[in-house]
Structure 1
Amino acid sequence: MGFLVRWFVAFVLLAITFNPTELNFVRWASTSWDDQTSLVVLFGLVLLVVYVVFLTAVLRGIGALGVVLVLAVIAALVWVLLDIGWLSIENPGVLTWVAILALSIVLAVGMYWGILWRRISGQIEVDDDEDA
Structure 2
Amino acid sequence: MTGFLLRWIAAFALLSATYNPTRWNYLRWAESHWTSAMALIVLAGLLLLVGYIIYLRATLRSIGVLGMALVLAIVAALLWVLYDFGLIRLDNPGANTWIALLALATVLGTGLSWSHVRRRLSGQADMDDVDE
Question: In 2 relative to 1, CA 128–73 (structure 1 residues): closer, same or farther, beyond 3 Å?
Answer: closer
| 1:15-51 deviations in Å (ceiling 9; x for gaps) | 1111111100011011011211111111111101110
Say whether 1:102 aligns with 2:103.
yes
Say whether 1:13 aligns with 2:3.
no
SS of 2:89 mapped into structure 1? coil
TM-score for both structures, normalised by structure 2: 0.94
Q: Distance in 2 between matches of 1:12 and 1:128?
A: 30
Q: Distance in 1 between matches of 2:56 and 2:129?
A: 21
TM-score for both structures, normalised by structure 1: 0.94
Percent of aligned positions that are identical: 52
In structure 2, the residue matched to 1:36 is: 37
Q: CA deviation at 1:126?
A: 2.9
| 1:72-112 deviations in Å (ceiling 9; x for gaps) | 01111111222222222211111110000010011110000
Q: CA deviation at 1:128?
A: 4.1
Runs of 4 or more above 4 Å deviation: none
In structure 2, the residue matched to 1:77 is: 78
Query: Which ranges of structure 2 fall in alignment gaps of 5 or more residues?
Result: none
Question: In 2 relative to 1, CA 128–110 (structure 1 residues): closer, same or farther, beyond 3 Å?
Answer: closer
Q: Distance in 2 between matches of 1:14 and 1:70?
A: 17
Q: CA deviation at 1:66?
A: 0.2
34-43 or 109-118: bigger deviation: 34-43
In structure 1, the residue matched to 2:62 is: 61
100-109 or 80-89: bigger deviation: 80-89
Match of 1:102, as an amino acid? A
